[in-house]
Each structure stands twice: as structure tokens, then as C-alpha cells.
Amino acid sequence: MLVVKRKLPSKILVIEALLRRGIVDSEQRKLLDELRWRAERGFEGEQRTDTFIADLQLSEPHLMLQGFESVNQHGFTHQMDTIIVTCRFILLLEVKNISGIITYDIKTNQLIRTWNNERLALTDPFAQLDRHAAYIEQMMWKLGMELPIIHAVIFTSASSILEEMPEQFHIFKLPGLRLKLREWFKAYPIQINESMLDLIQQELLNRHEPHKWQHPFGQVMIRRGALCACDKVMQYRQGKFMCPCGIKSSEALRQGLHDYRLLVSEWITNRELRRFFHINSADAANKILKRMDFYYE
């Protein structure tokens, strides 16, 4: 059963908002473009994994959590690409959508990618998975349950070539997941019932806490106003946002509020709305806020 459905990562949303409104230099824009490209590639690989697992049609009771995020007791975050909880085991998946020749040096604990004759050291995914596994294990201990925790790294790119992979680690291409799951379901006996699975579901949902990605630039000046498709700032007149180019749009207001939430705050006052969108009338701003039907205090 799908318990947590994957959403577009906040990293992509924040970067897109920054590219629209951030007053950044050429180097910062270049970095944002690179970060967005990597995040989009990662998201594509995760979606590919979601589709593959859905097609497997697992027959036994299970929980599926896509893009699970939580914060441990010390305030550190855990971001897990995919969690599958069964009555036999818990599977943690780290998804990589990377091209090139991939090797893992067990002596230095490095994942190495070779592409266009260049070697690049990547973050050790198994160190991340070990950390996540310890967090899930502690959660299970508090629930008074125990299940084997398996973790695996999956590569989703058709052009990735895996070489020199240590046998003690589960690291393989996405199509191999079908065989691996079959092996794990045979190897591990049933250890909990469906009622206990429900308790795990509730605990994971209580702990699921998506957070907003923080960009690396600190304080950034941002452009205010409702932005037209032509990139000019629109003016509020007679209840509508109008651009000097002649376009009228209500979507520009929604886009602007979306960017404000990502780059400034999740709360906005009448005064802040007027300042951000260049609206002179407090009554007009109040009508806009009422029309948006936001939660308010």
C-alpha cells in the first residue's frame, strides 16, 4: 500500500523560484542551473523506480513510502528515497540516476564515476543507508518490534555500467530489483502480523516531516511584484494585474505567492502583500487574501 507518495522535491521548486526572482550573479545562476539539472535527474530516476515497483504488484501486505523525510532526536534530517516495509523485512533504497562506469572502492569507501575519461568521487551511499537503517532500527525498538533491515543502491540510468562491486553490498541496476525481492521474500520468514504493520505505518506517518531546501547563498535580494510571462513587473489596476505589454493575468499573483512562500515566508500579512506586489490599497489587498481562501490567524 502506498503510504507516502513522492512529490516534486522542494529543492527544484526553490531553485526555480530563485531563477525567476533571485538577484544573483552569473556564477550563482550557473550553479543554480547545475543544481536544478542534478535534482531533476535524480527525481526522474526516483519516478522510474516508483513505476517499476508498482508494476511488480507485490502480493504480500506491505507499506511503500516514497521520498520519506524525518528529523531525529538530535535535529539531523533523514531523507530516504524509498522505504518498503513488509511483514518479513524493511527495505531501504537509495536511487542513483547516473551515467558512466561506476565502481566502489571498499578500502576507501568511495563510489567512483568515470565519464569522458574523468574520475569523480561521489558520496558513499552505504554510509547514508547505514545511518538511515540505525534510525529505523531505533524506531522499531521503541515500538517493541524487530525486523531485518536491508539496504540497497539502485542505478536507474540505462547508460550506467557497474564494475568491481563488492559482493557484501546490494548494488545493482533497477531491473535486478525484481529478482532481489523474490530472493528476500524467500529468505526471510514472516515476523509480524498486519496489525503490527499498521502500527509501523502510523509511526512512520507521524515522523514524516518534509522540509524546505535551503539554498547556499544566504541572504539574496529578490525581485518583487507579479511577473508577466515577458518578465516585466505587472501593475495592479481595477482588481487585475496588468503588464505594459498588454497581458492581464491572475496566474501571476498565484506564482508570486508561491515564490514568496518559498523564498520569504509561509506567512504573509496585508502590509507585506501590498509591499511585495506594489498594491496601494489595504482594502484591495484584503479582498485578494479573502479570495485566495488561505488559512489565517
pLDDT for the residue numbered 109: 84
pLDDT of residue 292: 86
The answer to whether residue 33 scores a pLDDT higher than 90 is yes
Please work out, in degrees rounded to the nearest 5, the angle formed at the alpha carbon of residue 240 by the alpha carbons of 235 and 245.
Answer: 50
Closest listed residue to residue 257, CA positions, set 29, 36, 17: 17
87 CB contacts (<8 Å, ≥6 apart)? 60, 61, 62, 190, 191, 192, 193, 194, 196, 197
- On average, the pLDDT of the chain sits at 92
- Predicted pLDDT of residue 47: 97
Cα–Cα distance for residue pair 265/107, rounded to 1 Å = 45
Confidence grade of residue 154 (pLDDT, cut at 50, 70, 90)? very high
Bridge partner residues of 83 (DSSP): 65, 92
Residues 6+ apart with CB under 8 A from 84: 53, 58, 62, 63, 64, 65, 90, 91, 93
Q: What is the DSSP letter of 215?
A: P
CA distances from 271 to 65, 109, 130, 225 (A): 40, 53, 48, 14
Question: Above 90 in pLDDT, residue 262?
Answer: yes
- Going by pLDDT thresholds of 50, 70 and 90, the confidence category of residue 66 is very high
Nearest to 255 by CA among 13, 81, 33, 88: 13
Strands 118-122 and 110-115: antiparallel
The pLDDT value given to residue 236: 87
Phi and psi at residue 236, to the nearest 5°: -90, 115
Quote the pLDDT of residue 161: 92
Per-residue pLDDT averaged across 191-211, rounded?
A: 95
Average pLDDT over residues 20-41: 93
Quickly list DSSP for 133-196.
Answer: HHHHHHHHHHHT----EEEEEEE--TTEEE-S--TTSEEEEGGGHHHHHHHHHHHS---S-HHH
Decide if pLDDT at 193 tops 80. Answer: yes
Looking at per-residue confidence, does 178 or 110 come out higher?
A: 178
pLDDT at 239 over 80: no
Length of the chain (residues): 297
Q: Given this model, what pLDDT does residue 258 score?
A: 94
pLDDT digits (tens, 9 = 90+) for 201-210: 999 999 999 9
Which of residues 63 and 250 earns the better pLDDT score? 63
**Calpha distance 68→83 (Å, rounded):** 7
Q: How many CB atoms lie within 10 A of CB 275?
A: 13
Give the residue among 245, 197, 186 at the shortest CA–CA distance from 1.
197
Residue in the structure block whose three cell numbers are 515566508: 265
Rounded to whole angstroms, the Cα distance separating 215 from 126 reads: 25
The predicted pLDDT at position 268 comes to 94
